[in-house]
Structure 1
């Protein structure tokens, strides 16, 4: 016959084994959280601003025309970073900008059109509290594409 203290001890062992099996005592780190659905918009905004900057450096005569468009992308990046809790200055994939004069605005225009599609898709998939920002970014990117004609 088991005494009270032995029952308590055995119960504690069984309880610990159960807890150990459920992951409480596992040393495996938690997987990183999935990236925010708006992260691609942030990455594109940063990449587009950098692309405009490269074209402006290569073609200073375009600075007056392109600087406001680059600034729009930096403003979008700041808004998106605030919304998703990311760093606005984080590295982004580069959107290539050619060094030739005639093709620079055409390449930027293609990049704007592709990025506008991303923003439209994000707007359609976003909850109502985020759709307005994504829609605004999509409209701005479409306007930029037209301004680059």
Structure 2
């Protein structure tokens, strides 16, 4: 509709042409926003990885390494099983803190390559994982630092127990 003539100023409503056109534009814009015309088609940016994820991955890897060592060297079960259980406990708590379900660990297998897993290799893995936990603890917020410090201490204790 084209408004070429003068809008009556003396109407009962007393609105100017400018007010009528502005209101019509506002109603039209409101209708368009409801239909998704102005919605963004871009998906939300991916969530940044949690800084605890590397510590969680190492806890799972260490538990799996201990389990593998017990499968290939059953005589070490008494010595290694409690250490593996510590890492599973750490993984469960880290997973809870991150807010993600705990990933499943692969089942140990009695392969020839697994026989190479020795106490010395486990000790080296514990030392490397302990350094990761210490580094994470240094930059963690206060609500996470206590858990990370405890994990770092536990990993250092495991390394000493494997001497």
TM-score by length of 1: 0.81
Question: Are residues 1:8 and 2:23 paired?
Answer: yes
> Alignment partner for residue 75 of structure 1, among 89, 93, 113?
89
Give the secondary-structure state (helix, strand or coil) at the position aligned to 1:25.
Answer: coil
CA RMSD of aligned residues (A): 2.6
1:99 alignment counterpart: 115
Larger Rg: 2
Structure 1 distance, partners of 2:24, 2:121, is: 73
Q: How many residues align?
A: 139
Structure 2 distance, partners of 1:27, 1:14, is: 19
Question: Are residues 1:124 and 2:147 paired?
Answer: no
1:70-117 deviations in whole A, cap 9, x for unaligned?
00000101111111112123459xxxx8413xx611111111111000
Structure 2 distance, partners of 1:28, 1:64, is: 54
1:3–1:34: structure 2 CA closer, same or farther, 3 Å change rule? same
Question: Are residues 1:133 and 2:161 paired?
Answer: no
TM-score by length of 2: 0.74
Structure 1 distance, partners of 2:161, 2:83, is: 9
Give the secondary-structure state (helix, strand or coil) at the position aligned to 1:99.
Answer: helix
Structure with the bigger percentage of helix = 1
Structure 1: gaps of 5 or more residues: none
Structure 2: gaps of 5 or more residues: 4-16, 107-112
1:24-79 deviations in whole A, cap 9, x for unaligned?
61111101211111111111111110111111111111111100000000010111
Q: Which portions of structure 1, spanning 4 or more consecutive aligned residues, are displaced by more than 4 angstroms?
A: 11-17
Structure 1 distance, partners of 2:99, 2:57, is: 13
Residues 98 and 107 in structure 1, CA contact (< 8 A), matched pair in contact too:
no
1:108 alignment counterpart: 122
Matched ranges for 1:46-65 at <5 A: 46-65=60-79
Question: Which range moved further: 139-148 or 3-12?
Answer: 3-12
